[in-house]
Every structure is written in structure tokens, then in C-alpha cells.
Amino acid sequence: MTDANVHFQPLGRKTSPEQGKTLLELARDSGVAIESICGSAGKCGKCKVVIRSGAANLTPLNRSEVEILGDKSVHAGTRLACQAKIVSEGDVVVEVPEESRRGHHRLLAAGEERATKLRPAMTKAVIELPPATLADVRADDDRFLDVLRKGARASSMMSPGAHRTLPGALRDGSWLVTATLFRGKEVVRVDPGDTTGELYGVAVDIGTTQVVAYLIDLASGDVLATESMPNPQIPFGEDVMSRITFTTKTPDGNERLQKVILDGLNSLISKLSSSSGVPQENILEAMVVGNTAMHHIFFGIPAKHLASAPYAPAVRTSLVYDAGQMGVDIYPFGKVSSLPNVAGFVGADAIADLVSSGLYRDRQIGMMIDIGTNTEIIAGNKDRLVSCSCASG
């Protein structure tokens, strides 16, 4: 280790010159967002940078660069960040021109809303139990489930979260507690007293370009807060295909893309909580939609097979994970779910579009267009729907 640095200007970020890494990889490692569409193939020419000093510490210009950059540009010290690799330890100063930088996008994250009757997966029930006495020494879980099951929830089961909160809640609530149930039968949490007035969830749309999260009061249906951010995966590839390419070319590519989107979502959830005053611990579920690639990567499922024929998705059915297991910072024994996917390039976001537009129950034939970096079009009515998608950003 020397004290040498790769400086990215005018952003002022620096990192150590790791041998064998490209300037694009080093930029990503240090949080500098450089455009890249072709998945580091040296073809799109979007990642142009100018070497201000230390050019001798980099691999020589290769054929792709010569072809794409042209003489004048090469003369000015321009390189493709995805092609120039570190070969020796020494300072390198890299200027990232404005046109190579990923800026902020202006996207529509609000619109007209239709009145909707919510049927949240999480529900609450107030339960009163006979206290434990020396004449009735049943275990807390038996005592609790006996009452719950008499309330027609015959097959109720308990999650780790329920077991951890149950004994304290029973005694703190003087044997009157509120059970939170997922899909009416899995108890995920028990709180002392009556907390039926508090029921919160987040709805998340992971767009290729923009991520939007809404904090919803699941009792009233009100949107309590909205937050959005550019998709933090953009520095790894601008469109869906280049991100999938990144997962195939980097050994832990899928994990890295998953980590940045999880971190991004957690920062949105933290903001939703601050602005609304609802503690993150009280957010019980997150419903996530996105196109198939965004969906797979978010849930830690390999996305690479989406890019080769016959383009079958790994998962069509709706997923349900424990939030703690996923690493989503809401109540750890709450749930993170997705809507189902349709096909390789028509994802859970298209299902969300359909549900909210109501197209699936219309008699008349209609068409729904979701214009984004990837655009989906669905046409049809209650009898039959046809969908397709195409990169369009």
C-alpha cells in the first residue's frame, strides 16, 4: 500500500489505485456516477473521461478506444473509463466531464388517484386472555393461541417476532393485547393494550431510473409521506440490459446491485419515518414492484438468465420474505412482498399498473402505457390482456 490516489475531478472524490481495476470500477467503488450503457464493453462511448495526470499508470489505449474516441479526443487525453485499467501504483487525476456524469432525473411520482378499498395483508385483533395463575400455569403461547383459535382463526401459527413480544406484552397489557396477523393466520407481533389504530405499510416502485416509496396508513388508505431517489444502481449500467450484463461479468455483481438498492430503499424508509413521525419499527409490511430484472436483483435472485433465450424469469409467483431476512429496515418480523411477474420482460410493476388502472375488469378494450426507461404496454379487457415491453429511456 502506498499513499497514491486516483482523484476524480471536479467531484473531489479519491480512492486507492487498485491494480487491474478499471477507472469505471474505481469510480463506482468511490461513489462517482459515470454513465455506462454497454456494460463495460467499450462500445457505447458514454464513459469518456480525461486523464489530467498519471496516464503512465494506466493500460495503453486499446482498439475500442481508438475507434470510438477519434484522434482529437485521444490527443486531449480522453479515455473510456471502462477500458483504462490501473497497471502501476501512482497518482492519477481523472476529470469526469459533465456529459459523462449521471445527473438527477425529473420524473413523475404523483398523479390522479382512484378511490381504493384497501385489504392489507396485515391486520390487527384485540385479544383478552385469562391471566396465568398457580391454578392455570399454561405456557403463554398455548394460552394465547387457545383464545385466538376460538376466534375462528383455526390454523393460526406464530412467527419468531410473536414469541419474542408475547410474554412482555401479556404482562404489560394486563392480559389484554393486540395481535398483528399476516394474511389472517400468522401472528408476527403482539403488543400490550389496544393498538388497532396504528397500521402502516410502505409501497415501493423500483424503476430502472427512479425509486419511489410511499408510506401508507393501511387502516385509512391515506398516503402519509412520499420519498424518491434516482435508482442507485445507475452507475453500474443505465438500462436493464447493461445492469444484467454487470451481474454476469462481475463475480458478486448480483449481490452488489442488491446491496445498493437495499441501502437506497432503507434511506427512503428512514426519510418516510422522519417526515411522518411513524417509527420504522411500526411499519409492518413493504410491497415492492419493479420490472423483472429490478425484481430479481432486489430479492437476491440471479438475473442473468433473463438476458439469454428463452428469457424465462426465475420467479413468476408472488414472493413473501421476512423483512429482517431481506435486510429491509421496517419491523424485522414484518413482511416484504412482491406482486407476481408476468414474463421475462413484463414484471410486477405491470401487474401494479393493471390493478390500479382497473383495465383487467373493463368490458371495453383499452390500452395502458407505462412509459419509463423500460416501457410496458398492455392492451385488452376483462377477457384477455396482451402485454409487451421495450427499452425506451
Chain positions contacting a second copy, by CB under 8 A? 132-134, 136-143, 145, 158, 160, 163-164, 166-168, 171, 299-302, 305, 309-317, 319, 321-322, 324-326, 341, 343-344
Q: How far is the CB of 145 from a second copy (least distance, A)?
A: 8
Q: How far is the CB of 325 from a second copy (least distance, A)?
A: 5
Residues whose CB falls within 8 Å of the CB of residue 290, separated by 6 or more in sequence, listed in order: 205, 206, 207, 298, 347, 348, 349
Q: How far is the CB of 213 from a second copy (least distance, A)?
A: 21
- In the complex with a second copy, which residue's Cβ is closer, 171 or 259? 171
Cis peptide before 279 (omega within 30 of 0): no
Q: How far is the CB of 389 from a second copy (least distance, A)?
A: 14
Grid coordinates standing for 197? 389504530
The candidate with the shortest Cα–Cα distance to 204, out of 341, 298, 138, 98, is: 298
Q: How far is the CB of 340 from a second copy (least distance, A)?
A: 9
Grid coordinates standing for 371? 412509459
The candidate with the shortest Cα–Cα distance to 172, out of 191, 198, 187, 188, is: 191
Cis peptide before 310 (omega within 30 of 0): yes
- In the complex with a second copy, which residue's Cβ is closer, 2 or 317? 317
Grid coordinates standing for 183? 394474511
Grid coordinates standing for 276? 411522518
- In the complex with a second copy, which residue's Cβ is closer, 141 or 353? 141
- In the complex with a second copy, which residue's Cβ is closer, 108 or 134? 134
Neighbours of 86 (CB within 10 A): 23
Q: Residue 346: what are its φ and ψ, rounded to 5°?
A: -125, 110
Q: Are 213 and 226 in contact (CB under 8 A)?
A: yes
- For the chain, the straight-line distance linking the first and the last C-alpha, in angstroms and rounded, comes to 42
Grid coordinates standing for 298? 432486489
Coil, helix or strand for 86?
strand
Distances (CA, A) of 184 to 157, 286, 317: 10, 17, 20
- In the complex with a second copy, which residue's Cβ is closer, 187 or 218? 187
Q: How far is the CB of 162 from a second copy (least distance, A)?
A: 10
- In the complex with a second copy, which residue's Cβ is closer, 61 or 314? 314
Q: Name the β-bridge partners of 86.
A: 58
Q: How far is the CB of 185 from a second copy (least distance, A)?
A: 14
- In the complex with a second copy, which residue's Cβ is closer, 100 or 254? 254
- In the complex with a second copy, which residue's Cβ is closer, 89 or 141? 141
Q: How far is the CB of 324 from a second copy (least distance, A)?
A: 6
Give the span between the Cα atoms of 118 and 198, in whole angstroms.
15
